[in-house]
Amino acid sequence: MLIPGHKDIRENKKMADESLRNVSEDTEKKEVVSKNFIEREIDKDLQEGVYDTVHTRFPPEPNGYLHVGHAKSILLNYGLAKEYGGKFNLRFDDTNPTKEKTEYVNAIIEDVKWLGADFEDRLFFASDYFDEMYEKAVLLIKKGKAYVSDLTADEIKAYRGDFNTPGKEDPGRQRSIEENLQLFTDMKDGKYADGEKVLRARIDMAAGNINMRDPVIYRIARLSHHNTGDKWCIYPMYDFAHPIEDAIEGITHSICTLEFEDHRPLYDWVVQECEYPHPPRQIEFAKMYLTNVVTGKRYIKRLVDDGIVDGWDDPRLVTIAALRRRGYTPESIAKFVQLAGISKADSSCDMDMLEYCVRDDLKLKKARIMAVLHPLKLVVDNYPEGQTEELDIPNNLEVPEMGSRKVRFSRELWIEQEDFMEVPPHKYFRLFPGNEVRLMGAYFVKCVGFDKDDEGNVTCVHVTYDPETRSGNAPDGRKVKGTIHWVDAGSAFKATVRLYESLIDREKGMFDENGALNLNPNSLTVLTDCYLEPMLKDAKPYDSFQFVRNGYFTVDSHDSKEGEPVFNRIVGLKSSFKLPKDK
């Protein structure tokens, strides 16, 4: 399947005239082999004339923010529609006003657009169809396929039986069609208390699939709805509403996750008994799980409510909004989804793979800027006081067309604290007394001394420079083993930088013995005394850069002000993830 934003590398490069036909056949075979099981099912449906088009949808419930796992469903559904020249809908399954908010609706719309899944003008709500759902429920009653029950939720559960015991019939099953119609009308008109009555489908209390044992399809709930207000005091259950929504919109393939596989017979029953002429087809695939990552909405909500994170888009989370704020790109998430693959078998992915994807996406797109996060003063003793010069620094050595920029150099600079040691270990090639290194894009400098404060901390390093080495090489041919980055003390600007680690303590695992999350106390480090190249002072929210040797960083969209950007580390430069050879 073609994931949006990625090229399909399936063409044979040897296109000699005499073998063109063989190459085409070979390429065609590769395409067939590369298709996932959903594509093969769609191909079969199209070939057999079951459908003449492909129409998919992404149907979130607006009860929280979407996470990276939802991105798989979004891009899968959109990618299938795009691949087959069909249509893609965004539809909110807003049948449960208990937890649904307009805030979540707006956030989801923004997430789907940001990922590049274009639903055009096809934005729908299940609540748009409440009138038709009510009419279909009345139709089922008239057909003897639904009845009003007086049982409580606990009684319904007990009557349902289990995998070894058939269910027991609800007394309401014996009611007449006329009585059921009147009772259901009374439910709609608010004559009963919440939970006093429900509408159940009449299917088979002895069915092997418990979902088919007269499921509840309507309940009473006096709750104000974000879309319909107080018009309704009865609401349809998801298993009843969802197939109707798909049928109304003309969805051909209802792609959902594996937990709905056992619900498929009920899905088909609803569409058939509600007499929709062109039934959609439900196909299930495996969710994408991430190890040691918080994705559950109730856990995230608790973290937000307890103030452990600063919102659903806190960069330590993996909601799509959080990843966007952290600096991840739509292309990196699309690649992650592509690498994870589409299958019927549950599997887990590690965050290392997601980090690999964003690192791989950014490395050839972003300028490499010098930023000192843990500053230490460096004084070039033999550089003339008051003198400055501008050096040409390439923006990205791997991408020459990105050009270069002018960087000021003077007598006083900032370097990283870790780039000087008074007593270095073996194979330490940075600054120490008597050692010579290259200042990136500038000169060779040799350490000739250092200053300490009363507590013994190094406060300043003194060097001398060789003015003949501005080209990056020494005329006499001597070599240096270390290159360190720096910023000019006179022109650099001071900024706040945030370093993020996993929210979960990976060594301890997700949960402790009491079921509580094992939170990492070092998940956020805020550095307030960082010095950056002056060009970064005008960076805007979501602008991103590589900070040489420190990783990739983006401007925070919440806390940055004009001329005072706050930088979030997206990801470090080093990765332990190895791309599989067949990818």
Q: What is the DSSP string of 332-396?
A: HHHHHHHHH---SS-EEE-HHHHHHHHHHHHTTTS-EE-EESSEEEEEETTSPTT-EEEEEEES-
pLDDT at 523 over 70: yes
Say if residue 16's pLDDT is above 80. no
Confidence check: pLDDT of 545 > 80: yes
Per-residue pLDDT tens for 291-345?
Answer: 889 998 899 999 999 999 999 999 999 999 999 999 999 999 999 999 999 999 8
pLDDT of residue 581: 58
**Domain covering 371-485 assigned CATH 2.40.240.10 in the classification:** yes
pLDDT band per the 50, 70, 90 thresholds, residue 165: very high
pLDDT band at 39 (very low <50, low <70, confident <90, very high): very high
Which whole number is the average pLDDT over 142-150? 98
Per-domain residue ranges of the chain: 371-485
Minimum mean pLDDT among 288-302, 447-461, 538-552: which range? 288-302
**pLDDT tens, 384-439?**
999 999 999 999 999 999 999 999 999 999 999 999 999 999 999 999 999 999 99
* pLDDT score, position 383: 98
Check pLDDT > 60 for residue 582: no
b/e sequence 26-62, b meaning 16+ C-beta within 10 Å? eeeeeeeeebbebbeebeebeeeeebeebbbbbbbbb
Banded pLDDT at 347 (limits 50, 70, 90): confident
pLDDT of residue 34: 75
Identity of residue 378: L
Q: Is residue 141 predicted with pLDDT exceeding 70? A: yes
Asked if 320 and 65 touch (Cβ cutoff 8 Å), the reply is yes
Check pLDDT > 80 for residue 47.
Answer: yes
Q: What percent of the chain has pLDDT over 90?
A: 87
pLDDT for residue 7: 35
Mean pLDDT, to the nearest integer, of 507-524? 90
Percentage with pLDDT > 70 across the chain? 93
Q: How far apart are alpha carbons 248 and 95 in whole angstroms?
A: 16
Buried b (16+ CB within 10 A) or exposed e, 450-460: beeeeeeeeee
- Average of per-residue pLDDT across 535-545: 97
Which pLDDT score is estimated for 23? 37
Strand-pair category, 493-500 with 524-532: antiparallel
CB 484 within 8 A of CB 416: yes
Q: Tell me the per-residue pLDDT of 350-376, one tens digit each, with 9 for 90 and over.
A: 899 999 999 999 999 999 999 999 999
Indicate the average pLDDT of the chain. Answer: 92
564-580 in b/e form (b: 16+ CB < 10 A) is ebbbbbbbeeeeeeeee
Phi, psi of 282 (to 5 degrees): -90, 130
423-427-431-434 Cα dihedral, nearest 10 degrees: 70
Q: What is the mean pLDDT of residues 463-477?
A: 92
Rounded Cα–Cα distance for residues 545 and 362 (Å): 8
Distance CA 51, CA 251 (A): 10
Phi and psi angles of residue 484, each rounded to the nearest 5 degrees, phi first? -125, 155
Angle between the N-to-C axes of helices 68-83 and 330-340, in degrees from 0 to 180, rounded to the nearest 10: 80
Residue 205 has pLDDT above 50, yes or no: yes
pLDDT at residue 1 tops 60: no
pTM of the model: 0.89
pLDDT at 556: 98
What confidence score (pLDDT) does residue 579 get? 61
Per-residue pLDDT tens for 91-138?
Answer: 999 999 988 999 999 999 999 999 999 999 999 999 999 999 999 999
- The strand pair at 487-488 and 412-416 is best described as antiparallel
Q: Supply 359's token pair.
A: 């690192």
